[in-house]
Structure 1
């Protein structure tokens, strides 16, 4: 049987040279949303390392959409120049540059992970957070429910961010609707207690996400892949669940979304996640087979044979690597050796191939 992990995948006009993708991972290394040489080296080295797709970390569509003051952003035109430079390098390494655009909602305004992930008030460089309802992530936290003007502004912010993403040269765009951030907050009844057309029923709770998809599509080229990352389960009683995720994925496919990047959790602090290898893969498998849409699998996938088995058993179409790619930036080259695949190396490194 051919090695699936190193088989090409074509979505619309883009062909990924293999099924290895680098997940978006926050680096908390920006000032005022600007990318810098850390991002060039971080993302560029993983392109040099052979991955077919490099997805840039959650990139804020507005200043208040950031998780921390150190997050990347794409809310102003001045952000484009450095991002374009990074993308040009990724493309030069025969990899595909992608971006994940995001709004953190009530989980915004916290310090970076190595600074304690503490909620920041305005005197500490923080800001007022927004959410579908005035329910904080923690009981002692305050957040402001988005009014209709705020909803429309956020939709407009995603649209403008998409336009800048095109100008910066991204070839894949992913909408972040997972991990307890703003879109996920609207999806889940645990965080969405609204009584208007954006709350209550399943159809109302998904409305905000669908409106953002539509706004993004008005700027994103029709020939380029559009992904949506979702949390397939809140891992909490009464929360968003896999059956709703399948239903949403069917609708997203009808709307023209190409792939569902299937993660889970992140909405509530009392979640109970049964961590273990492949723990999220069954979600990707169900969505792929029941919604009839391409899926990406992610979560404690660390070995070549493990990733190959996911593809061979039709559980997903793409495998995304996060922490393992931090431990091994050249993991595609390493996996190729393990699976006896003759991979093209960067010519500067060919002397180490033997």
Structure 2
């Protein structure tokens, strides 16, 4: 089952559920957050909550997507309570591009990226009930940086690069008792500045403070072990670059459970009512192939196992040479 959030064009929001290609409005709720709250209160799964509410009118999701009426598949009324975070070096093919970016002058010296990757391969998939090695972790921002499907990913004027990262994102709600509850999975574009990261790996934190997009649909239920899709950059309607990408635990050096543990082990990330969008990493980057996206290019991530394709055009904010001035009160 897939869930999405749509608008009817006159300001009203609806939740749509899709089974086997047919989507219908879920009666009685306006947001997936409301639906999840009702499921928690009724001690039901999301799928059971949807089934209990019956089917509303049919929805043409493809038309809604084309018309710009598909919203993020889940959002929060207070964007400050929606956290965008992620992990890197989690996929079996992810080390090569990162290692090349962070390579030392001495080719015999193993980079920190390669060390981190090898730690994951060796201890990132612990037995059930055990804790494995912690992954690389980064913060991207809050809900103010979440771009809806079809909306621009805006690179700041000071950025050195604007590159896509096709990923799977886990979507979580913190229950009233502080328990993280996984709502599902979505396609994600963990948009980053790879030139800044390449300059010094300690600038990774800076390079990740960029917007991101996810959706258009939320996969309810388990993530397939093998996820395969294609990442593209379109320029003037034509494919500039295209490459397949793999995800799912069969293609990862860390288990999902291990990644989730090392995010939610912090009390800060278990505040009741908060939403978390956690990107699980990738091994596929156009940057690694020497591609530099330009304003107006469209990032397209297509993976049928995770629903409709995610598309976002690239925009760049005006640059400024003026130093930011902080006032004293």
TM-score range, shorter chain: under 0.3
Q: Indicate the structure with greater helix content.
A: 1
Higher relative contact order (CA 8 A, sep 6+): 2
Give the TM-score normalised by the residue count of structure 2: 0.28
Larger relative strand fraction: 2
TM-score (norm 1): 0.26
